[in-house]
């Protein structure tokens, strides 16, 4: 089965919208992409600008079911002295959420993790500076936990064995 994948450059120029959805797997997974249309150069300002949109999408997604979601920030960094440019993606791990979750708190924790990851990257690779924040991806996976629904009675042999041992 061949998956239709969308490359990074195609994602960013494929539409004029700031927020759009691409389908990853038919019913169990969605990816929303938020473009940095206002050209924020600061992660905190960008996160503050898009947080309400993310919360609305998360609430809509978990109306009927539980979800797991994560964030991915696509950015471009440059070394001015060496004239190098590099695409970098910072990711968070999946977080479980349901209707009653505090999405603002969950997103703040994720944003802080992305900021720490970015700070670590700058420390390790000296000379890199942020050129552009391109997109933020909100990846949502629907959780379908196993449900119990039937009772199976013990076989009579095991019931008798249990009574004899007492």
| In the predicted structure, residue 100 carries a pLDDT above the cut 90 | no
Q: Residue range 74-81: average pLDDT? A: 87
Q: Which DSSP category does 153 fall into? A: P
DSSP string, 32-79: EEEE-TT---SHHHHHHHHHHHHHHHHHHHTSSSEEEEEEEEEEEEEE
- pTM more than 0.75: no
Q: Is residue 119 predicted with pLDDT exceeding 50?
A: yes
pLDDT of residue 128: 84
Q: What are phi and psi of 4, to 5 degrees?
A: -90, 115
- pLDDT value of position 90: 92
Residue 6 has pLDDT above 50, yes or no: no
CA 114 to chain CA centroid, Å, is: 11
Q: Which helix (H) or strand (E) holds 103?
A: helix 103-124
Q: What is the mean pLDDT of residues 22-43?
A: 81
Residue with tokens 């991806």: 137
């Amino acid at each position: 089965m061949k998956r239709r994948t969308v490359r990074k450059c195609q994602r960013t120029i494929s539409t004029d919208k700031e927020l759009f959805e691409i389908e990853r797997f038919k019913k169990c997974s969605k990816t929303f992409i938020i473009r940095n249309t206002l050209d924020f150069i600061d992660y905190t300002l960008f996160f503050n600008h898009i947080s309400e949109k993310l919360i609305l999408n998360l609430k809509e997604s978990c109306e009927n079911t539980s979800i797991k979601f994560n964030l991915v920030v696509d950015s471009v960094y440059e070394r001015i002295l060496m004239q190098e440019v590099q695409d970098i993606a910072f990711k968070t791990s999946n977080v479980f959420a349901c209707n009653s979750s505090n999405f603002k708190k969950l997103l703040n924790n994720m944003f802080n993790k992305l900021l720490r990851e970015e700070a670590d990257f700058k420390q390790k690779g000296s000379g890199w500076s942020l050129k552009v924040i391109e997109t933020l991806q909100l990846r949502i996976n629907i959780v379908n936990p196993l449900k119990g629904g039937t009772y199976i009675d013990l076989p009579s042999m095991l019931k008798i064995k249990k009574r004899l041992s007492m």
